[in-house]
Amino acid sequence: MEEIIAYIVKKLVNNPDAVKVEKDGMREDAVIYKVTVDEEDKGFVIGKQGRVAKALRLVVKAAAHKHGEKINIDIA
């Protein structure tokens, strides 16, 4: 899952070398992935009213569901 998240986020930002994705524990039977991007790129990842972040979460959760996993994504 980390590779999928990193691939999508790197395509959205201006500084793809600053993108980091790491597991950050568990919450409610779901694995938490923490996505860290450059301060200037946060707006690209979050989007207007969080639309890009919601779409990212939807796509990755669908991929995880296919593998029988539950995940959440935190953007920092």
Digit-coded pLDDT (tens) for 31-50: 999 999 999 999 999 999 99
**Predicted pLDDT at 9:** 96
Length of the chain: 76
Q: Give strand pairing partners of 27.
A: 30
Contact call for residues 45 and 52 (beta carbons, < 8 A): yes
Measured CA to CA, the distance from residue 61 to residue 55 in angstroms comes to 10
The token pair that represents 14 in the structure block: 């201006």
Distance separating alpha carbons of residues 51 and 66, to the nearest angstrom: 23
Q: Give residue 74's pLDDT.
A: 94
Please give the domain boundaries of the chain with CATH numbers for all domains: 2-75 (3.30.300.20)
Q: With bands split at pLDDT 50, 70 and 90, how would you rate the model's confidence at 28?
A: confident
pLDDT of residue 8: 96
